[in-house]
Structure 1
Amino acid sequence: MTGAVLLLLFVTLERLAELFLARRNTKRLLERGAVEHGSSHYPFIVLLHGAWLAGLWLLAWDHDVQLGWLAIFAVLQVMRVWVLLTLGPRWTTRIIVVPDETLVSKGPYRFLPHPNYVVVIGEIAVLPLALGLVWFALAFSVLNAIILFVRIRAEQKALGRS
């Protein structure tokens, strides 16, 4: 197996595990009276991330992995775990708000209002760069910026910050 295949396999398994965790957390939050916001744009997020990963498999499975970019990607994975651990059962891929629950202000949230989005922005660009796909990184970064613009506005509104 090539380094690219191993890397893409890791990311694919990571994303599948996150979807499982997100669904479980979403279900539990909704059972506690939480409310979902901004669900109309969610299918576009799924489509973007699915197309990004499928495109990487299609275009880069046989590419060399550039170690400098891989190191940056590894740092992003550490940040991703930090976000997941900080939010715990409140982490989900949707905008879910539990009424009267205070916002998380520890961990990476002490420094950034949306650390998970910083990680996603980095990953969308860095993984293709690690596989030598500069144009792919640029194209999906632009598409991701558009969807995150919508997403962050919806989240800010849901949290009463708009």
Structure 2
Amino acid sequence: MHCMGATSVRQRVAAYGVARREGTVLLTQASLDSGVPGTWWLPGGGVEFGENPRDCLAREFLEETGLHARVGGVLDVVSDVSDMVHEPVRLHSIRLIFEVEVSTGSARPEVGGSTDAVLWVAIEHVCDLPLIPWLRDIASTHLVP
């Protein structure tokens, strides 16, 4: 008889930023290491234990885009539960979505990380991309007019 391991549960708090510039919004594309390759996200990531979410977002923004971020106010808090791709875990994700202003300069992708592309996307074309489901759910509220 084949026994499957029990599914465990985990909770994750993450911070993501909406950066806008001249009719565009900054998005990152998930790499092969992410479990959801090819999907597009807002820059950001998991808040480490004891870390302030704003500090997390500034750190993640620099890592993923090469741009310095000034984190503004909270735009939204979203929550969902999903099954992880590579392990038997039900993941409850709580995502803090912040308004962000970024430094001038060229965005560059993260090397060897969870993202492999960074792109300023015209607002009217955001929903044409394969967005991660939680971002598709909030795109009409926070990304597109």
Query: Normalising by structure 2, what TM-score?
Result: 0.32
- Greater percentage in helix: 1
Name which one, 1 or 2, has greater alpha-carbon Rg.
1
More strand by share: 2
